[in-house]
Amino acid sequence: YKLSEKRKDGTNVGYVRVSEFNSLVNSKLQDALKDLKSQGANAYVLDLRSNTGGAFQSAVEISGFFFEDRVATYVVDSNQVEL
């Protein structure tokens, strides 16, 4: 992760690459976002290119960092019934 861009309008972009959703991603991403914020980041790019996938629950948990009080996922069965 890094502070990748400082724009003239005051936007400071933090860049974080997530290569896999696993049991470590939650704490590592939380640490990265905290550090970037301390460096002045107020906007973020979460790079998921080449992400190999992994633990669904980890992906849902980290979405909570960005989607406060909003549903990040819906799970439906083969009949389109929400579970």
CB 2 within 8 A of CB 35: no
Six-digit token pair at 11? 């936007």
Per-residue pLDDT reduced to its tens digit, 31-73: 999 999 999 999 999 999 999 999 988 988 898 888 878 888 8
Separation in Å, CA 16 to CA 42, 44, 46, 78: 13, 8, 5, 34
Of 7, 60, 54, 16, the residue nearest 36 (C-alpha): 16
Report the predicted TM-score, pTM, of the whole model to 2 decimal places: 0.80
Judge whether 57 and 23 are in contact, CB under 8 Å: no
Amino acid 6: pLDDT = 97
pLDDT band at 30 (very low <50, low <70, confident <90, very high): very high
pLDDT at 60: 87
pLDDT given for residue 33 in this prediction: 96
